[in-house]
A and B are shown apart, each in its own frame.
Chain A
Amino acid sequence: LAKTTQPISMDSYEGQEVNITCSHNNIATNDYITWYQQFPSQGPRFIIQGYKTKVTNEVASLFIPADRKSSTLSLPRVSLSDTAVYYCLVAAYSGAGSYQLTFGKGTKLSVIP
Chain B
Amino acid sequence: DVKVTQSSRYLVKRTGEKVFLECVQDMDHENMFWYRQDPGLGLRLIYFSYDVKMKEKGDIPEGYSVSREKKERFSLILESASTNQTSMYLCASSSREGSEKLFFGSGTQLSVL
Contact with B along A62-90 (1 / 0, CB 8 A): 00000000000000000000000001010
A43 and B92 form a contact (CB under 8 A): yes
B102 and A101 form a contact (CB under 8 A): yes
Q: Is A105 an interface residue (CB 8 A)?
A: yes
How many residues of chain A get a CB closer than 8 Å to chain B's CBs?
23
A99 to B100 Cα, complex, angstroms: 11
Q: Contacts A43-B105, A87-B43, A105-B40 given: A100-B100 contact, CB under 8 Å?
A: no
Chain A interface main SS type:
strand
Q: Is B18 an interface residue (CB 8 A)?
A: no
A32 and B104 form a contact (CB under 8 A): no
B45 and A101 form a contact (CB under 8 A): yes
Q: Is B53 an interface residue (CB 8 A)?
A: no
Complex interface: chain A residues within 8 A of B105 (CB) = 43
Contact with A along B29-50 (1 / 0, CB 8 A): 0000101000011111100101
A2 to B37 Cα, complex, angstroms: 19
Complex interface: chain B residues within 8 A of A105 (CB) = 40-42
Closest residue of A by beta carbon distance from B90: A43
A98 and B43 form a contact (CB under 8 A): no
Interface positions of B (Cβ within 8 A of A): 4, 33, 35, 40-45, 48, 50, 56, 58-59, 90, 92, 99-107
